[in-house]
Amino acid sequence: MAAADKESLPRPGASPAPTAQEYALWMSPASIFSRQHLMQDVEGERATLPLAAYCFMTGFIDSICFSAIFVWCAFQTGNTVQLALALARLFQGPPGQRDTSFHLADKQALTSVLTFVFGAFLGRIGDRMGAKTRAWLFLGTFIQTLFTMSAAVTVWKSGQPSTADARSDPAWSNALTYVTIGFMSASMGLQGIMGKRVNTQFATTIVLTTVWCELMADPKLFQLRRVVSRDHKVIGIVALFIGGFAGRAILDKIGSAGALGVGTGIRLLISVWWLFVPGKQTQTMK
């Protein structure tokens, strides 16, 4: 096909009803992997499915981590408060009888916070490539995939159990499981900043307390017709709930390493998914 013909192809969504031939040409490998296609910004309002999948992965990953050590890889509010309590414990009781030890749960929370911040910092790569471009959304999600795969390998090599019965006796305690926590938290930090940069009703796709509050405050909460600001928040909350349920169910069947392997596959699918999200209608193919 001549270059001029390719340049004149409309995108799906650019016209009310693209023909089957036009759609097939737009979806061809030559078009999908062209620089122009990859560097085009996606339309955030039309990225509902991959963003909902992000929320699903939040519940999925957190269910695995919490089941083992009662620490969240994505919800850093709890981990931050836990570290504050660990510091306050140094001043509890009379001098000479204070607990100055750094408890295992506190070490795991600190590992999660630091690696989460590292993952979020990696998200700033997208500021140079274009935070909403298909290229960065694909690459960033693929990096999350590699982090999740690394977590699966390290927890498998650790040889430790997948679930804990009590907070005082976490299932993970050796060095390799610290690396597992780090990879899981880094993947969530990167996901969070990528979700935030897309700038939709899904927010960061990892912290849904704000989403719950905004949903309850939505003036159109009880309207029966379709309302994007409300419906997308509901989709995110439901997706996270289903992700947590699925994560625990899979964990009980095949263990944490196998569950993280499943999560790796899902993240790989999401990364490819970004290549097919429609671009902004205000942009035209050059």
> pLDDT tens string for the chain (286 positions)?
444 444 444 444 444 555 555 445 556 666 777 888 888 889 888 889 999 999 999 999 999 999 999 988 988 888 999 899 888 888 887 777 777 778 888 899 999 999 999 999 999 888 888 889 999 999 999 999 999 999 999 999 999 999 998 888 889 999 999 999 999 999 999 999 999 888 888 888 888 888 888 889 888 888 888 888 888 889 999 999 999 999 999 999 999 999 999 999 999 999 999 998 888 765 444 4
As given in the structure block, the two tokens for residue 284 are 């035209």
Domains, the chain: 43-88+100-276 (1.20.1250)
As given in the structure block, the two tokens for residue 20 are 């089957």
CA dihedral 64, 70, 71, 75 (to 10 degrees): 80
The DSSP code for 11 is P
CA dihedral 239, 241, 247, 253 (to 10 degrees): -120
- Asked if 130 and 155 count as a contact pair (C-beta separation under 8 A), the reply is no
The CA distance from 7 to 41, in Å, is: 17
Residue 13: per-residue pLDDT: 45
The CA distance from 70 to 106, in Å, is: 11
Alpha carbon distances (Å) from 64 to 54, 59, 74: 16, 9, 11
Where b means 16+ CB within 10 Å and e means fewer, 165-197 reads eeeeebbbbeeebbbbbbbbbbbbbbbbbbbbb
Nearest-CA neighbor of 119 among 138, 144, 95, 139? 144
Residue 27: per-residue pLDDT: 61
The CA distance from 77 to 89, in Å, is: 19
The CA distance from 270 to 38, in Å, is: 15
How many other C-beta atoms are found inside a 10 Å radius of the C-beta of residue 84? 10
- Specify the length of the chain in residues: 286
268 Cβ partners below 8 Å, 6+ apart? Answer: 142, 145
Nearest-CA neighbor of 56 among 36, 74, 38? 74
